[in-house]
Structure 1
Amino acid sequence: MSEQAQSDYQQLNGVVLAYMGDATYEVFIRRHLIEQGLTRPNKLQHKATRYVSAKAQAGLITLMDADDYWTEEEEYYFKRGRNAKSYTHAKNTSVMTYRISTGFEAIFGYLTLSNQHDRLAEMAQWCIEQVEAGRLPDEK
């Protein structure tokens, strides 16, 4: 990656990183569900919510922190996303949960734009495993 390109993603607003990360994480989840044999769009959408909802993403952040899963740099980008001024509002969740999920998505945006493909795939797989193991805090 050129120095200019690296500088560009490092300067992006946390909400812009989250915009990219939302799409990236969604693709990982969609691929996972299709690979599980799900083919009906209604069923796919329903199942995807377990992984991509603001509540699920906030729960995954709690686990990342508890398991010391993320790097200092990833935590930095999480905080940039969480603390960024957003012009959209939370739907069906608290403002804090929405902000935490924005931070979660910012990590995925950062990893995508910094071309850390192996770490991105590793983190997405870790998230999938946590959801499937029922480890999200509000599922207990």
Structure 2
Amino acid sequence: MKDYSLLSGLTLAYIGDAVYEVYIRDFLIRSGHTRPNQLHHLATRYVSAKAQHYLIEQMQDQEILTEAELSIYKRGRNAKSHTSAKNTSVAIYRSSTGFEALMGYLHMMKQTERLEELIRWSIKRIGEKNETR
């Protein structure tokens, strides 16, 4: 398949989940965090369904997504998943699936610059959110 934009929202979310997690792990280690338990705890601040839901809501509020990106997010969000949400509502779980679909789409379409821009933006937002706690 050459046109990865035709993949299902769940397929895009499958790869997007892994891609986003690798970027977050890379960021945490480069930030000086090296203890596995600490890394796992810190990573969940960025990769949990609640965090991803928060990020995609902020992206929409600030209108930083293109129409195509918003469409991919909605495709992932609206996909019928056979797995259920753990520790969160179905709405938040679906929203996070849409976030992951967007990450997967940007990765598969080799839009690395845009992918990294949104991930840097996400890391900054989560950092700011955690500072206000």
Match of 2:94 in 1: 99
Distance in 2 of aligned mates of 1:117 and 1:59: 22
Shift of the alpha carbon at 1:134? 1.1
1:45-83 Cα distance to aligned partner (Å, 9 max, x none)? 000010000000000011001111111111000000000
1:70-123 Cα distance to aligned partner (Å, 9 max, x none)? 111110000000001101110000000000000000000000000001001111
Match of 1:23 in 2: 18
Distance in 2 of aligned mates of 1:129 and 1:72: 23
Distance in 2 of aligned mates of 1:32 and 1:13: 29
Question: TM-score, normalization: structure 1?
Answer: 0.91
User: Which of 79, 91, 100 is the aligned partner of 1:84?
Assistant: 79
Distance in 2 of aligned mates of 1:77 and 1:11: 10
What one-letter code is carried by the residue in structure 2 that aligns with 1:36? S
What one-letter code is carried by the residue in structure 2 that aligns with 1:55? K
User: Which of 25, 29, 40 is the aligned partner of 1:34?
Assistant: 29
Distance in 2 of aligned mates of 1:38 and 1:83: 36
Distance in 2 of aligned mates of 1:41 and 1:93: 25
Question: TM-score, normalization: structure 2?
Answer: 0.96
Q: Percent identity?
A: 54
User: Which of 42, 45, 50 is the aligned partner of 1:55?
Assistant: 50
Unaligned runs of 5+ in 1: none
Distance in 2 of aligned mates of 1:10 and 1:32: 27
CA RMSD of aligned residues (A): 1.3
The number of aligned residues is: 132
Distance in 1 of aligned mates of 2:64 and 2:125: 12
Unaligned runs of 5+ in 2: none
Large movers: runs of 4+ above 6 Å: none
What one-letter code is carried by the residue in structure 2 that aligns with 1:92? N
